Amino acid sequence: MAEVELAALLRPELEELRPYVPHEPPGISVKLDANEAPPSPSPAIRDAVQRAIAGVTLERYPDPRALRLKEAIARRTGARSDELLVGAGSDELIALVLTAMARPRERAPQPVVLTPTPTFVMYRVSARGHGHKPVEVPLDASWDLDATMMKRAIDMMRPNIVFVASPNNPTGNRVEDERLRDVIGAATGVFTIVDEAYVDYSAEGSVRGWREEYPNLGILRTVSKIGLAALRVGWLEADSALVAELDKVRQPFNLSATSQAAAAAVLEDAWDDVRADVARVVKARGELAAAITAIDGFSVTPSSANFLWVKTPGSAEAIFESLVKDGVLVRSFHSAGGRLGAQLRITVGTDSENDALVSALRRARGVA
């Protein structure tokens, strides 16, 4: 009886959500499904992390303001420390924004979050879990932002928040500047967040310089995609007055002392090594894209991230299952159906992993 009574207290939105459970089939030796960076050949990054963690006072709570980390981020990005909110990866920062910006618009039953689709799934999942209504606008035929439909949705739905990932996950492409400006400019009075989790791999770089022109613009960043996923460190850059308000719903010790110290140390002492690792991935990305495109029936969307968006001949499911039998794990979108049914997202791995993938794709071609 008590179990039934407690279940009645749960948000009704939870009925349509599922906990995150990674797909981990047995026998996988090449894991290219999670957009993780390959191991760094440079000892400098690991040495910086080990020295930083060794200096952490374990019996003390972390710095609740993360001052050293914020200063290190500020020096690398050009932001001011008071414009930064740090968290346990982008996921926590998305949740903090949704928690704080949850007041419905006048005559609206609930707050609205607007995103393109397909994109990073946690925008929708976190929105539902926090009582927001997610509204999704399909990307165009080239997987770029449909600015006209996004502006129409802004006008009709009056969202509190707009999320745009650029480069986008899972498609890998960077949003065209003119389209992005069009949407940000139309979103007056809407907190518009450009999620730049993969921007380090983009030749065009960040749009954070646009913040002077668009005060409603926030920039989301992370170190997870550049070889430091284990640290779970991300940051939001936005107007300092808004950051101060968002900070009111942040838990005081949300980011561990070890993560703060390690991330700051890498930003301060080993950033050149991180940049060298990024350059190696970008080079390998081009080589891998060319190798996949050379296989009959496959095509690759131009990528500005550390992964490739691959169109398969026929259903992606058969290719995916064949790769798994060969010990190679990628991300398949066949279960979504429609145009996503023939798409794989493939992380750029080490040279040997990429070679194993290409060989497995060639063998899989016979089952498409």
pLDDT in tens, 148-165: 999 999 999 999 999 999
185 burial level (CB within 10 Å; 0-12, 13-18, 19+) = middle
pLDDT bracket for residue 368 (50, 70, 90): very low
pLDDT in tens, 284-293: 999 999 999 9
Does 281 have pLDDT greater than 70? yes
* Neighbouring residues of 176: CB distance < 8 A, sequence distance ≥ 6: 144, 145
pLDDT bracket for residue 110 (50, 70, 90): very high
Is the backbone peptide bond immediately before 167 cis, with ω within 30 degrees of 0?
A: yes
Average pLDDT over every residue of 238-248: 98
CATH topology of domain 43-269: Aspartate Aminotransferase; domain 2 (3.40.640)
Does 343 have pLDDT greater than 90? yes
% residues pLDDT > 70 (the chain): 98
Does 4 have pLDDT greater than 70? no
Give the whole-angstrom CA distance, residue 271 versus residue 76. Answer: 9
% residues pLDDT > 90 (the chain): 92
Q: What is the dihedral of CA 87, 121, 76, 301, to 10 degrees?
A: 170
Does 22 have pLDDT greater than 90? no
Whole-angstrom CA distances from 87 to 49, 70, 321, 366 are 18, 11, 36, 46
Q: If DSSP codes are grouped into helix, strand and coil, which group holds residue 64?
A: coil
Q: Output the pLDDT for position 121.
A: 96
Amino acid identity of 14?
A: L
Please report, for the chain, how many H helices and E strands are present, in that order. 12, 13
pLDDT bracket for residue 1 (50, 70, 90): very low
Average pLDDT over every residue of 64-69: 98
Element housing 162 (H / E): strand 161-165
Class of domain 22-42+273-367 as given by CATH: alpha beta
Average pLDDT over every residue of 2-25: 85
Q: Output the pLDDT for position 82.
A: 98
Does 2 have pLDDT greater than 60? no
Average pLDDT over every residue of 331-345: 96
Amino acid identity of 30?
A: V
User: 22-42+273-367 and 43-269 share one CATH topology?
Assistant: no
Does 115 have pLDDT greater than 60? yes
Does 50 have pLDDT greater than 80? yes
Does 224 have pLDDT greater than 80? yes
Half-sphere exposure (CA, 13 Å, Cβ side) for 68?
16
Domain boundaries, the chain: 22-42+273-367, 43-269
pLDDT in tens, 181-221: 999 999 999 999 999 999 999 999 999 999 999 999 999 99
Q: Output the pLDDT for position 327.
A: 98
Q: Output the pLDDT for position 221.
A: 98
Average pLDDT, the chain: 96
Average pLDDT over every residue of 47-76: 98
Q: Which two tokens stand for residue 144?
A: 């770029």
